[in-house]
């Protein structure tokens, strides 16, 4: 589904990614771990198609199609979803209105009519219930005055509504207390199927107790330096990132 080959990417002339290779197939869950500044968030932003990041070498393809020429919204239309580490505030735009706009934008890209209001409401209610989101929350301005946990839960709510093929969750566990983490993880697990895939970007192993990965990759200094199964995550937790650094030295 997602094939990354020898990916090099820079922001403001500074090279952050220095040759990433990654293959994600339908039905798989991948975790990308690594210390701060290793390039984890850059990788997710580059996949999503942020203009400020320049791919200097290598390629990203999605369902066999090279993404290079596609801008961010076209990638979203193809089914790539990024749960942001720091979701932005949009004052005056309610959670409901925003998701409605996003869903209809996706439908329009597929040549479909707007979703009938009745179906939209039903879907919103179901997904909100799954993530234990209060109906009052839905009429608040997007991310404005939200707690860290509320912001993350809202990202997963959007994920549930948009049903993308590939979900990249960037540090979704940060800012969540243990109860919220369980709800969010349950939500992600329910959305998993043999046709979609999840890439978890995380600093800690904690989230991986709830969303169990098939593969774990360690990102360090712009490269994937080690790959393995979920055992690797436990090893990292026990030994710390210094272990990787020493091994590489």
The site for another protein (CB under 8 A) is made up of 48-52, 71-73, 75-77, 81-82, 84, 87-88, 90-93, 97-98, 101-102, 105-106, 109, 141-142, 158, 162
Closer by beta carbon to another protein, 161 or else 218: 161
Closer by beta carbon to another protein, 22 or else 48: 48
67 backbone dihedrals φ, ψ, rounded to 5°: -85, -10
Closer by beta carbon to another protein, 20 or else 95: 95
* CA neighbor of 50 nearest in space, from 224, 188, 217, 168: 168
CA-CA-CA-CA torsion sign (170, 109, 64, 56): negative
- Least distance between another protein and beta carbon 80 (Å): 8
Provide the 8-state DSSP code for 22: E
Closer by beta carbon to another protein, 90 or else 130: 90
83 backbone dihedrals φ, ψ, rounded to 5°: -85, 115
Closer by beta carbon to another protein, 2 or else 208: 2
- Least distance between another protein and beta carbon 127 (Å): 15
Vertex 148 angle, CA 143 and 153, to 5°: 70
- Least distance between another protein and beta carbon 106 (Å): 5
Residue 137 to residues 82, 96, 149, 178: CA-CA distances in angstroms?
21, 9, 13, 20
Provide the 8-state DSSP code for 152: H
- Tell me the C-alpha distance between 36 and 41, whole Å: 10
- Tell me the C-alpha distance between 194 and 28, whole Å: 8
- Least distance between another protein and beta carbon 105 (Å): 4
- Least distance between another protein and beta carbon 8 (Å): 21
């Amino acid at each position: 589904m997602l094939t990354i080959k020898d990916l090099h990417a820079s922001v403001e002339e500074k090279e952050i990614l220095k040759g990433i290779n990654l293959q994600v197939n339908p039905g798989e869950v991948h975790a990308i771990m690594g210390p701060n500044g290793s390039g984890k968030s850059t990788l997710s932003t580059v996949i999503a198609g942020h203009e400020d990041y320049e791919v200097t070498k290598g390629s990203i393809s999605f369902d066999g199609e090279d993404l290079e020429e596609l801008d961010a919204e076209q990638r979203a239309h193809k089914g790539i979803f990024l749960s942001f580490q720091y979701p932005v505030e949009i004052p005056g735009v309610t959670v409901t209105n925003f998701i409605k706009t996003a869903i209809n934008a996706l439908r329009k890209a597929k040549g479909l009519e707007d979703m009938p209001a009745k179906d939209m409401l039903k879907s919103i209610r179901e997904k909100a219930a799954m993530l234990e989101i209060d109906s009052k929350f839905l009429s608040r301005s997007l991310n404005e005055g939200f707690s860290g946990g509320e912001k993350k839960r809202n990202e997963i709510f959007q994920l549930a509504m948009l049903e993308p093929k590939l979900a990249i969750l960037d540090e979704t566990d940060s800012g969540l207390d243990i109860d919220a983490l369980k709800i969010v993880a349950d939500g992600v697990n329910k959305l998993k199927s043999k046709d979609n895939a999840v890439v978890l970007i995380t600093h800690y192993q904690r989230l991986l107790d709830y969303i169990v990965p098939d593969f774990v990759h360690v990102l360090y200094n712009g490269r994937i330096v080690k790959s393995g199964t979920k055992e690797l995550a436990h090893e990292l937790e026990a030994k710390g990132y210094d272990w990787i650094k020493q091994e590489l030295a």
